[in-house]
């Protein structure tokens, strides 16, 4: 009936105690609200204000930026998983290259830009490759021919000699280049040379060798500069036969160039050519001139092993503007450790007298072991060991 008369004794309605308001809590809520409003205001101001880093005078800047971003994304998607790098110095690409050990190497190459905007400054051709990509050829320096994939000068003037060169300090001092040749002819000998020789040694692969592409990649991953050895006619041919695809005086320019290109197509990533035998061929100007001209046009160096006193390679290379070098000493003409050490000491004397010296050897067990031990000692005497491309006479650098 709405009165306390019908309510059981002691069961009247309970009165709730009044809650006291905490003045500190109220001030906290107020502060939080003000802070939230301030953050929202700053965000709106930042979104609406013009970016001082953007150029507002160009009405097409926004669309150009969107298009550039779309092209960049498409290029990156197309290049993902690629096993071949594109241009070293041209084009706008982002490439993901999967290496043999499962790692992914991302390569960024800037795109030339027109109109106003940031300027890309080029310092010219660079020497050497990123070691993680050294086993992969620069596709801009490859020409597809019936004889195989041959080296050429890139559209921006980059030469294979520069792209695949081993970097060095550039400092003045005593420099020595060591070349160990005959790689690819013996599996165990090739493995030992790549494994035991320091990366400063230039390795020369015989064009008639086996599994050359595999060995080339192993050598490049280990940091070696490499050459390709081309068989050439010696004075005592055919008693001393350099092989079925040797360059012969009697074959003529067309046939010799075809044989040269067949050998050159066996591998990539080499800085130049080195003769194997060839005393007679190197002394015949009519036979040698087309070969030296072709090498110069392809941006390759030629290293003469110095075994023929009648060689015309230096004279012709100078006339044709081709990079060229002469070996000062053959280090293992006598195959014993003591004899090789004497030759190496003589090579050091030549280098200290002239500033530089080049020594060549073959991948015999005695040669590889002796050279590796001597280099460790000689490095402590202030000698810098460099790739062969750093020591040749290069008309572009003179």
Is the per-residue pLDDT at 255 higher than 80?
yes
229 CB-near residues (< 8 Å, 6+ apart): 181, 182, 204, 205, 206, 207, 273, 274, 275, 276
Give the C-alpha distances (Å, rounded to integers) separating 292 from 27, 116, 141, 262. Answer: 89, 45, 19, 16
For residues 213 and 71, membership in a common domain is answered with: no
310 CB-near residues (< 8 Å, 6+ apart): 279, 282, 283
Residue 159 to residue 125: CA distance in whole angstroms: 8
For residues 158 and 294, membership in a common domain is answered with: yes
For residues 179 and 78, membership in a common domain is answered with: no
Coil, strand or helix at 297: helix
Residue 313 to residue 232: CA distance in whole angstroms: 13
Residue 385 lies in a domain: yes
Domain of 209, CATH number, reads 3.20.20.370
For residues 211 and 167, membership in a common domain is answered with: yes
Percentage of the chain lying above the pLDDT 90 cut:
65
Structure tokens at 269: 């990533």
Residue 131 to residue 87: CA distance in whole angstroms: 17
Question: Would you call the peptide bond into 135 cis, given omega within 30 degrees of 0 as the criterion?
Answer: no
For residues 97 and 144, membership in a common domain is answered with: no
pTM recorded for the entire structure = 0.70
300: left (phi over 0), alpha (psi -120 to 50) or beta: beta
pLDDT at 91: 47
For residues 105 and 146, membership in a common domain is answered with: no
What is the tens place of the pLDDT at every residue in 314-366? 999 999 999 999 999 999 999 999 999 999 999 999 999 999 999 999 999 99
Query: Bigger pLDDT: 106 or 369?
Result: 369
Residue 102 lies in a domain: yes
CA-wise closest residue to 388 among 314, 300, 309? 300
Residue 163 lies in a domain: yes
For residues 192 and 287, membership in a common domain is answered with: yes
For residues 102 and 154, membership in a common domain is answered with: no
Residue 44 lies in a domain: no
For residues 86 and 212, membership in a common domain is answered with: no
Q: How far is CA 274 from the centre of its chain?
A: 21
Residue 126 lies in a domain: no
Backbone angles phi, psi at 177, to 5 degrees: -110, 130
Residue 246 lies in a domain: yes
The count of domains in the chain is: 2
For residues 263 and 333, membership in a common domain is answered with: yes
Residue 258's pLDDT band (boundaries 50, 70, 90)? very high
For residues 106 and 143, membership in a common domain is answered with: no
Is the per-residue pLDDT at 42 higher than 60?
no
Residue 396 lies in a domain: no
Residue 31 lies in a domain: no
Task: Give the chain's mean pLDDT.
Answer: 81
The residue segments making up the domain with residue 264 are 139-390
Instruction: Please tell me what DSSP assigns to residue 298.
Output: T
């Amino acid at each position: 009936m709405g009165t306390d008369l019908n309510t059981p004794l002691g069961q009247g309605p309970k009165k709730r105690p009044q809650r006291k308001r905490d003045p500190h809590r109220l001030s906290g809520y107020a502060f939080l609200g003000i802070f939230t409003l301030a953050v929202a205001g700053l965000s709106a101001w930042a979104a609406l204000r013009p970016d001082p880093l953007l150029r507002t005078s160009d009405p097409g800047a926004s669309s150009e930026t969107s298009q550039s971003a779309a092209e960049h994304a498409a290029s990156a998607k197309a290049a993902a998983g690629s096993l071949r790098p594109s241009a070293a110095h041209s084009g706008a690409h982002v490439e993901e290259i999967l290496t043999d050990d499962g790692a992914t190497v991302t390569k960024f190459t800037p795109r030339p830009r027109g109109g106003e905007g940031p300027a890309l400054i080029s310092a010219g051709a660079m020497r050497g490759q990123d070691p993680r990509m050294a086993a992969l050829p620069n596709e801009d320096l490859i020409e597809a021919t019936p004889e195989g994939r041959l080296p050429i000068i890139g559209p921006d003037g980059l030469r294979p000699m520069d792209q695949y060169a081993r970097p060095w300090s550039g400092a003045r001092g005593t420099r020595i280049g060591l070349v160990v040749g005959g790689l690819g002819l013996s599996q165990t000998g090739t493995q030992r040379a790549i494994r035991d020789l320091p990366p400063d040694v230039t390795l020369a692969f015989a064009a008639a060798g086996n599994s050359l592409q595999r060995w080339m990649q192993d050598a490049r991953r280990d940091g070696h500069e490499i050459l390709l050895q081309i068989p050439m006619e010696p004075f005592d041919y055919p008693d001393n036969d350099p092989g079925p695809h040797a360059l012969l005086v009697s074959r003529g320019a067309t046939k010799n160039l075809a044989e040269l290109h067949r050998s050159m197509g066996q591998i990539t990533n080499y800085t130049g050519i080195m003769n194997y035998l060839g005393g007679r061929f190197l002394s015949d100007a009519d036979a040698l001139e087309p070969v030296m001209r072709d090498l110069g046009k392809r941006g390759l160096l030629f290293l003469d092993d110095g075994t023929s006193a009648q060689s015309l390679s230096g004279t012709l290379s100078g006339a044709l503007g081709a990079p060229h070098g002469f070996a000062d000493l053959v280090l293992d003409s006598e195959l014993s450790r003591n004899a090789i050490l004497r030759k190496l000491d003589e090579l050091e004397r030549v280098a200290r007298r002239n500033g530089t010296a080049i020594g060549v050897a073959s991948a015999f067990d005695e040669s590889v072991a002796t050279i590796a031990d001597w280099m460790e000692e000689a490095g402590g005497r202030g000698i810098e060991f460099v790739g062969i491309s750093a020591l040749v006479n290069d008309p572009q650098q003179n």
